[in-house]
Amino acid sequence: MFAAIGDSFTEGVGDWDRHLPNGVRGWADRVAKQLGKQDPTWEYANLAIRSKRLHQVIDEQLEPALKLRPTIVSVYAGGNDILELRKDMGALMSSYEQMVGRIAAAGARPLLFTGFDVQLHPVLEPMRRRNWMYNERVRRIARTYDALLVDYWCFDEYHNPGMWDTDRLHMSAAGHKNMAAHVLRVLGVDHSLKLKLPQPRPHTTPRDWARQEAIWLREWVIPMFGRRIRRVTLGDQLTPRWPQPVHPADGLKKLALQRFEAADSKS
């Protein structure tokens, strides 16, 4: 059984699909589908919700995931904490390690991720340095607990802008599909995913670049920090996408439709 916990990275934000719970698909759904093709008895649960901090993942998702008695637990958490400059990185990573230790102690194999070296606007450069610190500690923790590691940091294809959604912080559909292939490689599972890198975007003039940067700051960065000031998140009203185990071999869109219909019949 494959259980996934974490934040928007694992929920699937950027890989939009209105037919699936929370309107997203994501790399974890794609991995689950391939596992189901290999063995129809595989089960899958995804408790990840966008915007969650590490302590929320631990408090709200970890124990429910472990109660499912999974074979593999994937976790990417802490990315939202890195954006908070007052957050102590040493304390953050100690909590992260305790979480991984609990997964290993429960008899599941942890599947961990480093964070990508996103090319950020100079105003966000301190976040990049904190990301380096996060990655080094994740690698050490993976060795300590014999965890599987997807070293996202070094995947050069993600320098292609087409691998990112318009906010530049979440992967696009192409990015999620490519990530699924990396995860399956680490798991040692063959897959039928057809990968195609997006075409490079046309060269822009300095004036166009400046205009695009201004739009990005206005539409994405400023609202993000505004939500942090107001202490609200995009995940406040959301519930886990697949809180109970499903068999991906049965078709996740079919299962989602059945769930939507069941909810409609109760309302």
pLDDT (tens digit per residue) in 157-196: 999 989 998 887 899 999 999 999 999 999 999 998 988 8
Token pair listed for 19: 């037919």
pLDDT of residue 85: 76
Mean pLDDT of all residues belonging to the chain: 89
Closest by alpha carbon to 65, among 255, 259, 238, 243?
A: 243
Distance CA(142)–CA(112), nearest Å, equals 7
> Mean of the pLDDT values across residues 106-125?
83
pLDDT of residue 92: 96
- Given a contact cutoff of 8 angstroms between Cβ atoms, the answer to whether 104 and 62 are in contact is no
pLDDT band at 58 (very low <50, low <70, confident <90, very high): very high
pLDDT of residue 224: 67
Distance CA(150)–CA(121), nearest Å, equals 25
pLDDT band at 87 (very low <50, low <70, confident <90, very high): confident
pLDDT of residue 22: 96
Check pLDDT > 70 for residue 146. Answer: yes
Check pLDDT > 80 for residue 30. Answer: yes
Q: Which residues of 87-105 are buried (b: 16+ CB within 10 A; e: fewer)?
A: eeeeebbeebbebbebbbe
Check pLDDT > 80 for residue 227. Answer: no
